[in-house]
Structure 1
């Protein structure tokens, strides 16, 4: 059986594949469904601007931007497990976003709960790398 930390690490990559599909594909309803079902109902996120947003705001962001960034590429690297408590995993990773006219690197820390092989994002804090 796969260890839950491996499920959480894999889910970081999967989630960003779905995010890229949602932003680049106007017909990404399947990816949108997978993406939104990956968040805990009490999900909180600290954005790169320092704002704390909830699942409702994250859902709106993805729903309103389906297919609107057709050239976006997202690459995940340097995933580092930081802490484990029961079925909660704190993981740091780098997210490289690229479009033809813009490149951005973020270091993010996520708390992902794993239950019965399913991952639920509870918390995400993103920081821009200058």
Structure 2
């Protein structure tokens, strides 16, 4: 049976990607959504992209600002979410993320470390690995 922190982390995986989709699609409330999205990251957040680059929170925020409204047909599907490890407030999740954008489909496996503080999830680390088409 998943712990409360694991359930919070899994819910965060889905919500975070719904918010990313809304920002990239240019939803009417995308500025407020982007603020909520950025509030979900720990200030020391690190991400390893599918291309192998390591980026921090400032680069991620710049990416969301730059791509706001740039992908109006984007649909992000999340599935296969599972807890790989849990230690006190930290939960490590793995999930498959599939981006449908017009005729383009790109999928990746992602591993995220999410810290849950007072029932609030904060993303500390994310590594994405492309799944070949």
Query: How big is the shift at 1:43?
Result: 0.3
User: Which residue of 2 is the match for residue 18 of structure 1?
Assistant: 19
**1:28-67 maps to which residues of 2 (within 5 A)?**
28-67=30-69
Gaps in structure 2 of 5+ consecutive residues: none
Q: Give CA-to-partner distance per residue, 1:45-103, whole Å, 9 cap, x none.
A: 00000000000000000011111100000000000100001100000000000111310
Give me the whole-angstrom Cα distance separating, in 1, the residues matched to 2:33 and 2:75.
15
Q: How many residues align?
A: 129
Partner of 1:6: 7
The 8 Å contact of residues 26 and 68 in structure 1, kept in 2 or not, is answered as no
Runs of 5+ unmatched residues, structure 1: none
* Offset, 1:39: 0.4
User: How far 1:30 moved relative to its partner?
Assistant: 1.4
Q: CA deviation at 1:36?
A: 0.4
Shift of residue 26 of structure 1? 5.2
Root-mean-square deviation (CA), in Å? 1.0
Q: What is the alpha-carbon distance in structure 2 between the residues aligned to residue 51 and residue 101 of structure 1?
A: 26
Question: Cα deviation per residue 1:94-122 (whole Å; 9 max; x = unaligned)?
Answer: 00001113100100000000011111000
Matched residue, 1:106: 108
